[in-house]
Amino acid sequence: MRREKKRRFEIVSKIARPAILLAVLLAAQITPLSPQLAAFQQAAYSQNVAQGLAAKPKLVVLMVADQLSYNSLMRFQDKLSGGGIRYLSESGANYTNCRYMQATTQGACGDATIATGASPWATGIVADQWFDRRKNKAISAVADDSAPLTGANSGGASSKFLQGTTIGDQMKLATNGRSKVFSLAVRDSQALLLGGRLANMAIWFDTRTGNFVSSAQYSRDLPTWVKGFNDLRQAEKYVAKPWQRLLPETAYGASSRDDYTNERALPSDGKAFPHMISGTTAGEGAYSTLAMTPMANQMVLDLAKEAIDKEGLGTHSDTDLLSIGLSAGGELINSFGPYSQESQDLVLRMDQGIAALLGHLEQKVGLNNCLIIFTANRGAQAIPEFLKERGLDSGRIDPKTFKTFMDTSLDNRLGQDDWIEAFEPPNLYLNFAAIDKNKYRQPDVEALAAKVAHSVPGIAEVITSAQLYSNQVPNGPFSEGVRKSYYWGRSGECYVIPKPGYVFSSESTGTASGAPYSYDSQVPLVLHGFGIEGGKHAETVSPADIAPTIAALLNIETPSLSEGKVLVTGLAPIQGPPRPRTMAAEVAPQ
């Protein structure tokens, strides 16, 4: 009998699994709190640590596409390669119902939510641009004249408007600055908002010079490897060159016909393939057009490889972060729509570029040592005429015409004055001076403006700041989303929501984004690599959950304003038993 017990005891010491350990020890009639059990638990814990089970990923790679809806990715998935986005989706934790919880789904809002885990009501990033009453003009979400560009002689930009910390900031704080944090993108706002305040550097493509630049917020000088990349004049490789389809036209059956009537052509180009990057020589116009094409995304992915190599990302004792903003889709989808062949080609080429990056990571860091996240900062709405041709209600609302109509209508009811200062969708800004001069109550003018706006064809809902302030927002599917989108001092006095299928656009072609509906709010979300268990998950999640999930895997504090949750369903099970309590009596400090 004793020999049999001893044999069981030896088996436990090899397996070191808590459930089996406890069962065998009970069978051997050994008290669970005995010194023997404590010794075996400690041995199992040490073995797991030695095997790296308690380690952290060496590198977090956060890839964020611009204007890529979940629907678009699914429509094109059968044409994707096996080593890029499709590989991540099929072998990682794939969340098929990921939606932004805020009502405003513009790119800057999404980037800020991904980085901070918070909605615009906390981050202060209420739109791509908003009306600044002190400057009496619309300003970008990253405008900052006090932070001149590094690597260029014009403009200024920083992340000063972003409230709270980002996941990159938290990594810096947790490691006393040792973690390296880099953010690369086509667009300045995406690079800056994903990077945050404490990043080593945020770097983006400058359409004036064709170079990658940064902000004095981080440094007055570019890293040597960025200068070397700029010296290669990568943009010149694509200027005055044709953009052909990646695959034969027959492979684009999920998209509309080429040269669709209501598409908006690239500058100095037509609506059909092959497209020519405008200009016969390099210049600002050509670079602006280049920034709308898949080749701009490819330049960012190529620059990401340089960052991995030259900065040694993923080779330090502390985890590094590399954020990659694939921003070209923003302007391209606005021009051609998500059902275009151009949109499909953008995704196919993005997939190939990501596949090459994953191969590079495998070679330099090892994919098992990386935590890789792929998502988008917003979805994409179809061109309104495309929907109308299929029998769906849709249309365009010109922001300038809407502002004029609102001003004229309020003139008829309140007297002649400039009642509307600005309309930067979805924010309508009233003129406080006119309200005060005419001795009206602001809540009354807001209510009247909302009533007038409701009379405009294509307007679904208008919520006023007075309703938000008094917590009297009418019940509706997007009431909470509007609350999460409203930031006092930056948002307008009326929040205007179009009906499904309608866009705020001064253009007669193309489309726009920013609405709370699924086509704009539902985006891909895939987690892959270290600490992640593969599988498809249908529960509703949000891009706000990304930052707290990274924080949980790194065992660090979440960003200061984070409201997201940890995506526990995608995490690999914890291996080994918990660390045991010591059996020795605690000794009070002397």
CATH number at residue 403: 3.30.1360.150
Shared-domain flag, residues 417 and 277: no
- 265 with 346, same domain: the answer is yes
Q: Which strands make up the sheet holding 420-424, listed edge to edge?
A: 420-424, 427-430, 494-498, 459-464
Residue 154 has pLDDT above 90, yes or no: no
Q: Would you state the pLDDT for residue 574?
A: 63
Distances (CA, A) of 223 to 151, 229, 236, 326, 343: 10, 10, 21, 21, 33
Note whether 247 and 202 are same-domain residues. Answer: yes
**Position 25 pLDDT exceeds 80:** no
Contact 553, 530 (CB under 8 A): yes
Residue 20 is predicted with a pLDDT of 36
CB of 44 within 8 A of CB of 16?
A: yes
Q: Is 299 contained in some domain?
A: yes
Q: Where in the sequence is the domain holding 73, given as residue range(s)? A: 59-124+141-368+521-563
Say what the pLDDT of residue 278 is: 72
Please report the pLDDT score of residue 285 as a whole number.
80
Q: Is the pLDDT of residue 12 over 50?
A: no
**What is the residue-averaged pLDDT of the chain?**
90
| Per-residue b or e along 210-247, where b marks 16 or more CB atoms closer than 10 Å to that residue's CB | bbbbbbbbbeeebbeebeebbeeebbeebbeeebebbe
Q: What percent of the chain has pLDDT over 70?
A: 87
CATH code, domain with 335: 3.40.720.10
Q: Is 187's pLDDT higher than 80?
A: yes
Residues 253 and 359 in one domain: yes
Q: Are 376 and 68 in contact (CB under 8 A)?
A: yes
- The answer to the question of residue 321 being in a domain is yes
Residue-wise pLDDT for 105-150, tens only, equals 999 999 999 999 999 999 999 999 999 999 999 999 999 999 999 9
Instruction: For residue 515, tell me if it sits in a domain.
Output: no
Lowest-confidence pick of 20-24, 52-56, 250-254, 421-425: 20-24
Q: 154 and 252 in one domain? A: yes
Q: Are residues 236 and 101 part of one domain? A: yes
In this structure, is residue 77 part of a structural domain? yes
Within 10 A of 546 (CB to CB), how many other CB atoms are there?
Answer: 26
Task: Note whether 160 and 141 are within 8 A (CB).
Answer: no
Q: Clarify whether residues 11 and 78 are in a common domain.
A: no
Q: What are phi and psi of 541, to 5 degrees?
A: -130, 180
- Identify the residue with better confidence: 587 or 213: 213
Place of tokens 């090892």: 366
Spell 184-200 as b/e; 16+ CB within 10 A means b.
bbbbbbbbbbbbbbbbb
Flag whether 378 is in a domain: no
Indicate if 295 and 255 belong to the same structural domain: yes
Residues 25 and 63 in one domain: no
First to last CA, the chain: 49
Q: In angstroms, what is the C-alpha Rg of the chain?
A: 27
Q: How confident is the model at residue 14 (pLDDT cuts 50, 70, 90)?
A: very low
Is residue 41 in some structural domain?
yes
In a domain, 415, yes or no: yes
Pair (322, 299) in one structural domain: yes
pLDDT at 33: 38
Q: pLDDT tens digits, residue range 336-378?
A: 999 999 999 999 999 999 999 999 999 999 999 999 999 999 9
Measured CA to CA, the distance from residue 159 to residue 193 in angstroms comes to: 6
Asked if 316 and 183 sit in the same domain, the reply is yes
In a domain, 586, yes or no: no
pLDDT (tens digit, 9 = 90+) per residue, 376-432?
999 999 999 999 999 999 999 999 999 999 999 999 999 999 999 999 999 999 999
419 with 542, same domain: the answer is: no
Pairwise CA distance, residues 73 & 18, whole Å: 42
Domain count, the chain: 3
